[in-house]
Structure 1
Amino acid sequence: MKVRSSLRSLKQKPGSVVVRRRGRVVVVNRANPQWKSRQG
């Protein structure tokens, strides 16, 4: 599955987790909730 490059940069941030929710790829960050995004 392709992951968008904007999600890859968010994935590098400390505390971020990549999860799949209902068929979507979501980046969640508990340390800084501002850095959250989704694809699909």
Structure 2
Amino acid sequence: MKSRSSLRSLKHRPGSIVVRRRGRTFVINKRSPHWNGRQS
């Protein structure tokens, strides 16, 4: 999982979903988990 300052590039990937958990923003991609990301 990549920790990034901006998730804009990750959320445009096919199959990605933006989720908010515990005050953090996550991008979850089940199609290609290489594009998972977290923003603090």
Task: Identify the TM-score tier after normalising by the shorter chain.
Answer: 0.7 to 0.9
Unaligned runs of 5+ in 2: none
Which structure 1 residue ranges, 5 or more long, are not aligned? none
After TM superposition, which residue ranges in structure 1, 4 or more long, deviate above 3 angstroms? Answer: none
Name whichever structure is richer in strand by fraction.
2
Percent of aligned pairs sharing the same letter: 58
Would you say how many aligned residue pairs link Structure 1 and Structure 2?
Answer: 36
Calculate the TM-score normalised by the size of structure 1.
Answer: 0.81
Structure with larger RCO (C-alpha < 8 A, sep 6+): 2
RMSD of aligned residue pairs (Cα, Å): 1.2
TM-score for the superposition, normalised by structure 2: 0.81
